[in-house]
Amino acid sequence: MSGASAEKRGYVLNMGPQHPSTHGVLRMEVHTDGEIVTRAIPDIGYLHRCKEKIGESETYFKFTPYTDRLDYLASMNQNHGYCVAVERLAGIEVPERAEYIRVIVAELNRIASHLVSFGTYGLDLGAFTPFLYAFREREKILDIFEQMCGARLTYAYIYIGGVMRDITPKQLGMIQEFVDYIEPKLDEYDRLLSYNQIFIKRTANVGVLSPELAIKYGVTGPVLRASGVDWDLRRDDPYSIYDRFDWKPVVGRGDVGSVGDSWDRYMVRLREIRESVKIIRQAIAQVPIGPYQAKVPPRLKPKYNEVYCRTESARGELGFYLVADGDVHPWRCKVRAPSFSNLSVIGELAPGLMIADLVAVLGSIDVVMGDVDR
């Protein structure tokens, strides 16, 4: 068949921006040859909110709640990354107690985010029950956060210099109860979905991402580790007090398929929940007595300085580049969002997949569009 005839046979499918399997307002321009994908182009721009410009217009303190709206499924991690950047910029020392509280809530939010990933991924592939289980468990975390700061999705709890409010013995008890509750549930999830033969057929050896390609595209977080790259900023470029805890980053092993396939990307997140539980247990046992907030001037004006601070959010390397010029707001605020780089690799993985498998690959990357389109 001639090239012109082959081109004529192709079909362009617009998946999104309100398609139920696109994880937010993402449009995918999918070129197909029958059921086979020949090209996939992510088209973003439906959720652009000028975050960086707002960060340069608002004061350092007032921008903190805006960071919640980046990756809104892991808002504590976004608060944490921004506040660490400002503190390094201004030379603010955070009290020990606040550091422990920060780690506890950041890891709880990582678990909550991975639970959403687990539940919605099953839903993408036709398994409805995991979605209900995941949200049942996530509700317990949201109840804890509601007790701590009054909010259930966007928190602004981690604050420049510490945290908004101190943690109480009752809240620590709720957290202890939750980590005791969630560990046995992970074995249940494995029986329910992870090792379900239909699920394995849909995800094993599908969308294999090589370590070289992942690094080339700047992929980070669970997607990078699923490709066999042992890299986690909590260990390899420590911030806060993560270097005080005994835990291990989870990497893909190719247990049922190939290293770096969709199943590995799914499984890394489930196994990371176990590691987050380890960190939380140790942090609860070590929380010291003391202040939960440093003394910070109400009108923070760092002298001319610049800093790039990167932290490990639920989806990978979250970076804030801030330039101070002595004013109450930064001269430059640049956000390095992990979902943006992770989504970019979809164009390399798509050719040769079936349309249904493209949905499986996209779900395994687990993007949040607020993080992609800032």
CATH code of 285's domain: 1.10.645.10
> Looking at the domain assignment, is residue 340 inside a domain?
yes
pTM of the model: 0.94
What is the per-residue pLDDT across 164-215, written as a single tens digit (0 to 9) for each? 999 999 999 999 999 999 999 999 999 999 999 999 999 999 999 999 999 9
pLDDT at residue 6 tops 50 = no
In a domain, 344, yes or no: yes
Residue 18 has pLDDT above 80, yes or no: no
What element of type H or E holds 158? strand 158-159
**Residue 294 belongs to a domain:** yes
Token pair 């092993």 is at which residue?
A: 253
Q: Is the pLDDT of residue 367 over 60?
A: yes
Residue 3 lies in a domain: no
Angle formed by the axes of helices 96-124 and 169-189, nearest 10°: 30
pLDDT tens for 107-137 read 999 999 999 999 999 999 999 999 999 999 9
Q: Is residue 211 part of a domain?
A: yes
When pLDDT is averaged across residues 29-39 and rounded to a whole number, the result is 93
- Residue 71 has φ and ψ, to the nearest 5°, of -95, 90
Mean predicted confidence (pLDDT) in 227-239:
95
Distance CA 294, CA 280 (A): 23
Can you tell me the distance from the alpha carbon of 233 to that of 45, in angstroms, rounded to the nearest whole number? 29
Please give the tally of structural domains in the chain.
Answer: 1
Strand order in the sheet with 27-33: 11-15, 27-33, 36-43
Smallest CA-to-CA distance from 137 within 153, 113, 105 is with 113
With respect to residue 1, please indicate whether it lies within any of the assigned structural domains: no
Residue 298 confidence (pLDDT) above 90: no
- Provide the domain limits for residue 13: 8-364
Residue 372 inside a domain? The answer is no
Is the pLDDT confidence value at 150 over 90?
yes
Predicted pLDDT at 22: 63
Instruction: Report the distance separating Cα 196 and Cα 369, nearest Å.
Output: 29
- Residue 45 belongs to a domain: yes
**DSSP-assigned beta bridge partners for residue 32:** 11, 37
